[in-house]
Amino acid sequence: MLVGVCDFPGSYAFPPAGYGGIERWLWAVAVGARAAGADVHLLGPGWLTDLEHDWVRKPVRLEDISTGSLAERELRDTGYDLLVVGHEYPSLPAWTRTWNELDCDVATFQHSPVFQHTATAFDGRRSRLYCYSPR
């Protein structure tokens, strides 16, 4: 299984030291998926460059990729089975457009009810919100 774990725009690098919530969860998913035998790519420019050298990093944000671009074709040809993302991504139209081109599943975690998703963000089949907690 090929899993892409996406960072998200922020003023800190991933994995952030001393953070909890979604930041900590994204890193735990990357490490856990690898330990379970998946191939894992770290997507986005925020991932620390001093991680172990055997991590595949692709410093691109899916929401910034233009339709029909070389970057879009390269990501589609990579053949991701699953993208694991920050909770706000499944409701962003630009991100969703690129994700649809990649034709893979997406999963996220949300720990706060403050962020409201679009009605079509999760279908329970290809896109899933797995965990919801006030913690």
What pTM value is reported for the model?
0.84
The answer to whether 43 touches 58, Cβ cutoff 8 Å, is yes
More confident position, 55 or 11: 55
| Closest of 78, 71, 13 to residue 40, by C-alpha | 78
More confident position, 52 or 105: 105
3 state DSSP class of 132: strand
C-alpha 58/C-alpha 32 separation (Å) is: 19
pLDDT tops 90 at residue 102: no
Instruction: Show me where the domains of the chain are located.
Output: 2-132
With cut-offs at 50, 70 and 90, classify the pLDDT of residue 94: confident
Going by CATH, does the domain composed of 2-132 fall within 3.40.50? Answer: yes
Segment 24-43 mean pLDDT? 92
What is the predicted pLDDT for the residue at 122? 76
